[in-house]
Amino acid sequence: MEKVVSGIRPTGNLHLGNYFGAVKSFVAMQDQYQCLFFIADWHSLTTHPKPENIQASARTILAEYLACGIDPTKAPIYIQSDVKETLELYLYFNMNIYLGELERVTTFKEKARQQPDNVNAGLLTYPTLMAADVLQHRAHKVPVGKDQEQNMEMMRKCARRFNNIYGVEFFPEPQNFYFGEKALKVPGLDGSGKMGKSTGNCIYLRDDDKTITKKVMKAVTDSGPTEPNSPKPEVIENLFTFLRIASTPDTYQYFDEQWNNCTLRYGDLKKQIAHDLVEIVAPIRAKIEEYSANTELLDKIAREGAEVARASASETLKAVREIIGFRK
Ligand code: AMP
């Protein structure tokens, strides 16, 4: 059975970008693949070097994963820092990837712009750590959003380069997996590109109904369609993206027709989106509260997940050491 691995950094609560871009795929994949999902607490140090309470933050994401429907009996969940084998593979990949290749990664350049006083080596080597996360399990598929496409290319490069240098066919080249047909970028509702924690434009899975509705009703729009069948400007396309991911195809078509014949009222469109998002988020929010209260269960799930992950990673690392020529 093909293996699937993916993770999310515990730098804040899960938002709709994380949910529709990644976690929804995690849930859909757990019945068909051998899945392992993790919480990337080491990765979070690239942007948050002095976390307030990193264990509590990891638990938060764990509770949110469970509330979204990940079943740890099918798909074990572990915390990245519980599996030290990752670091050894990270080191080997760092030996095989060139500085120039890492410097060209767009997410690195973006982060370097966002935190000019802390352009640390971890930020630069983010893709090799991500490659180690996945390749230590020799996984074939990685459910991620569109923003991760370049990191996925670096991951395949790590696999290919290792295989070429040592003359082996050891690592598979993991493919991006998208829940729909193509990569999804969940937009922000403030007209500023993607929904993301650092931009402060998120709708969170923990948001209550009123907050969700307020955020959607405040979404940036324009003065409305003037020409029939005209292309949608970006801020309007963003609203339709929400309709596509949160509403039924009939609803999408209904509003699309209204756009095309210039009768669309943005207030109605927003009300519909808010309603449909609340329908999705409210039951998840209730489960988050339930799971968050049960730290014993959360810690047990993380412990058991770490055991599975360590067993899988140490098997890979044993073979890697042998391939490179280290003592067994
Ligand atoms: P991050 O919150 O940046 O650690 O991202 C964790 C996962 O959520 C990754 O797989 C991202 O691709 C995905 N993700 C985050 N924001 C978005 C977004 N706005 N649209 C689609 N996927 C996203």
* 9 Cβ closer than 6 Å to some ligand 1 atom: yes
**String of b and e for 172-183 (b: at least 16 CB within 10 Å)?**
bebebbbbeeeb
Report which residue type is found at 65: Y
pLDDT recorded at residue 17: 94
- What are phi and psi for residue 199, nearest 5 degrees? -95, -5
The sign of the CA dihedral 239, 245, 248, 249 is positive
Residues whose CB is less than 8 angstroms from the CB of residue 217 and which lie 6 or more positions away in sequence, other chains included: 267, 270, 271, 274
What 8-state DSSP symbol labels residue 148?
Answer: G
pLDDT recorded at residue 182: 79
Q: Count of CB atoms within 10 A of residue 1's CB? A: 8
* 18 Cβ closer than 6 Å to some ligand 1 atom: yes
Spatial separation of the C-alpha atoms in residues 229 and 227, rounded to whole Å: 6
pLDDT recorded at residue 91: 98
pLDDT recorded at residue 39: 98
Nearest CA, atom 8, ligand 1: 18
pLDDT recorded at residue 225: 86
Residue indicated by tokens 């307020």: 214
Residues whose CB is less than 8 angstroms from the CB of residue 224 and which lie 6 or more positions away in sequence, other chains included: 262, 264, 266
Spatial separation of the C-alpha atoms in residues 258 and 228, rounded to whole Å: 9
* 13 Cβ closer than 6 Å to some ligand 1 atom: no
Q: Which ligand 1 atom is the nearest neighbour of the CA of 186?
A: 20
Question: Are the C-beta atoms of 77 and 38 separated by less than 8 Å?
Answer: yes
Spatial separation of the C-alpha atoms in residues 193 and 228, rounded to whole Å: 26
Which of 18, 57, 64, 68 has the most ligand 1 atoms within 8 A of CB, as the residue to mutate? 18
* 48 Cβ closer than 6 Å to some ligand 1 atom: no
Nearest CA, atom 18, ligand 1: 17
Please give the distance, rounded to the nearest whole angstrom, from the Cα atom of residue 225 to the centre of ligand 1. Answer: 31
* 201 Cβ closer than 6 Å to some ligand 1 atom: no
* 176 Cβ closer than 6 Å to some ligand 1 atom: no
Residue indicated by tokens 């995690």: 26
In the sheet with 77-79, reading across from the earlier edge strand, the strands are 77-79, 34-39, 3-8, 141-143, 175-177
Question: Are the C-beta atoms of 20 and 49 separated by less than 8 Å?
Answer: no
Spatial separation of the C-alpha atoms in residues 165 and 9, rounded to whole Å: 31
Active-site annotation, residues: 111, 194, 197
Q: Which ligand 1 atom is the nearest neighbour of the CA of 6?
A: 10
Nearest to 222 by CA among 233, 207, 206: 233
Give pLDDT tens digits along the chain (328 positions): 899 999 999 999 999 999 999 999 999 999 999 999 999 999 999 999 999 999 999 999 999 999 999 999 999 999 999 999 999 999 999 999 999 999 999 999 999 999 999 999 999 999 999 999 999 999 999 998 888 999 999 999 999 999 999 999 999 999 999 877 678 899 999 887 899 987 889 999 999 999 999 999 999 999 888 899 999 999 999 999 999 999 999 999 999 999 999 999 999 999 999 999 999 999 999 999 999 999 999 999 999 999 999 999 999 999 999 999 998 7
Q: Which ligand 1 atom is the nearest neighbour of the CA of 183?
A: 21
Spatial separation of the C-alpha atoms in residues 14 and 5, rounded to whole Å: 18
Secondary structure (3-state) at 38: strand
pLDDT recorded at residue 237: 95
Nearest to 212 by CA among 61, 19, 66: 19
Spatial separation of the C-alpha atoms in residues 161 and 188, rounded to whole Å: 37
